[in-house]
Structure 1
Amino acid sequence: MEQTTFLYRNSLSIVFLSLFVVTWLAQIWTGWNQHNEDLANAGARTILLSAYVRSGHFFSATFENFQSEFLQMALYVVLTVGLRQQGSAESKRLEGKEEVDREPMPSADAPWPVRRGGWILKLYSNSLSITFSALFFVSWALHFYGSWQEFNVEQALDGREKIDMISYLSEPVFWFETFQNWQSEFLSVASIVIFTIYLRQKGSPESKPVDAPHSETGK
């Protein structure tokens, strides 16, 4: 096998993580300016950037997006185990077992949980969906906390009383923020599932081969 560099071997994750960091920093900067503009328009004092990254505005904006992404991935991982879409590159074949369905066999190169066996192997066999689900619930809780804090800031600026966390659960603004993100994630997954039936991208593992018939399911 030809020797490759670290950057080449990890270029996909490096590029996406770099894009994440750049856009997250841009979100923080623009969010801070927008929040201070809103505070100034309401006659309140503006805040420092260090205070902003601890504010409800920042937590709500950040984790509102995180939780919907992790929900999307958790459901995608779990639902593609048993559900099918004829012709889609994102689906397993309609009949028969695939490589991902085989029972794990211990070997020298297998991950440690496979060699260990028992409940550790059982947990590891579902670790991807468990991790995405845990990240979703944590992000959902942090989005809720940030949204509640920001709601109370707006309440105070308008001269209204703050409310507790339990009462905030019945406020439509939090659920509006939640559902507007969920629906977009579900649409994006449905899009790639359906589009890969008929459309191609040469060289991409997310596409079927260019000459594959539309009815061919899987890659």
Structure 2
Amino acid sequence: MRRFLRSNGLTLFFLLILVLALAGQAVSGVYVFNDRQLTSGGAQVSLAHYLTSSQFAVDVAENWQSEFLQFFLYIFVTVWLVQRGSPESKNPREAGVESDERQKVDAHAAEDSPAWAAARGWRTALFSRSLGLIMGALFLLSWLAQSIAGLSAYNADQLADLSDPVSWTGYVTSADFWNRSLQNWQSEFLAVAAMAVFSIYLRQRGSPESKPVGESHSATGIEG
């Protein structure tokens, strides 16, 4: 067990704080929701009811989709785009998909390479893009979940205000939907840009997200 925890500590740590953050969001969210219900003359709900509500679902999904969008874009654009001096970037001379030899695919696959790296054809092509594709798929699924949950929450507010509900198409083209999406997207894009630039000049000893402390500011694609 100790070996498993040590080998998977990074993933387990973030999964743990994810659960804690979701629990905190649920508890604080139900209080905020019930305060609004009292203000508008509505009935208060239990924590269990709130956890299955569209309001909680849309708040979670709109954050998840922005995170997956960030990673999806970052994985794909860093194939071609570089930032000189950043460990988050490839060396400018290596921009592009790189050679089969460097990527260890097809005839250049090693004995311990994943099976699909040496399979050739569509399997190697798919496996070669699998990380970006799964992030893109997770973004689309969480975006869809946000749109469905958001539609339900939006229409509940519409009915409470004695206004007509809208269709799914009407909601995903509404200002409410795009305001929710863009306020999350812009924060993710800012964070990535800040990380790429700050890592040129600043260091974190021992972190693979940082260059070695004594490495030149101009060194690119070198991680500690």
Q: Quick one: structure 1 residues 74 and 211, their matched pair in 2 at CA, closer, same or farther if it must change by over 3 Å?
A: same
Q: Residue type matched to 1:124 in 2?
A: F
Q: Could you tell me which residue of structure 2 aligns to residue 138 of structure 1?
A: 141
Equivalent position SS for 1:5: helix
1:202 to 205, 212, 216: 205
Contact 2:104/2:117, CA 8 A, preserved across alignment: no
Q: How far off is 1:127 after superposition?
A: 0.4
Q: Residue type matched to 1:170 in 2?
A: T
Q: How far off is 1:101 after superposition?
A: 4.6
More deviation, 137-146/102-111: 102-111
Determine if the alignment matches structure 1 residue 157 to structure 2 residue 176.
no
TM-score (norm 1): 0.92
Q: How far off is 1:99 after superposition?
A: 10
TM-score (norm 2): 0.90
| Runs of 5+ unmatched residues, structure 1 | none
Q: How far off is 1:33 after superposition?
A: 2.0
Q: Could you tell me which residue of structure 1 aligns to residue 4 of structure 2?
A: 6
Q: Could you tell me which residue of structure 1 aligns to residue 81 of structure 2?
A: 83
Equivalent position SS for 1:17: helix
- Residue correspondences, number: 216
1:193 to 188, 191, 196: 196
Q: Could you tell me which residue of structure 2 aligns to residue 62 of structure 1?
A: 60
Q: What are the within-5 Å matches in structure 2 for residues 88-167 of structure 1? A: 88-96=86-94, 101-104=102-105, 105-167=108-170
Q: What percentage of aligned pairs have identical amino acids?
A: 38
| Runs of 5+ unmatched residues, structure 2 | none
Deviations 1:96-138 (A, max 9, x none): 4699952414444222322433211211110000000000000
Q: How far off is 1:56 after superposition?
A: 1.5
Contact 1:44/1:157, CA 8 A, preserved across alignment: no
Equivalent position SS for 1:203: coil
Contact 2:88/2:209, CA 8 A, preserved across alignment: yes
Q: Quick one: structure 1 residues 210 and 30, their matched pair in 2 at CA, closer, same or farther if it must change by over 3 Å?
A: same
Contact 1:89/1:196, CA 8 A, preserved across alignment: yes
Question: Aligned partners of 2:210, 2:25: CA distance in 1, in Å?
Answer: 31
Question: Aligned partners of 2:160, 2:101: CA distance in 1, in Å?
Answer: 55
Question: Aligned partners of 2:45, 2:32: CA distance in 1, in Å?
Answer: 11
Question: Aligned partners of 2:208, 2:136: CA distance in 1, in Å?
Answer: 25
State the superposition RMSD in angstroms: 1.9
- Structure 1 stretches of 4+ with a deviation exceeding 4 A read 96-101
Contact 1:87/1:216, CA 8 A, preserved across alignment: yes
Q: Could you tell me which residue of structure 2 aligns to residue 177 of structure 1?
A: 180
Task: Name the structure, 1 or 2, with higher relative contact order (CA <8 Å, separation 6+).
Answer: 1
Question: Aligned partners of 1:149, 1:40: CA distance in 2, in Å?
Answer: 20
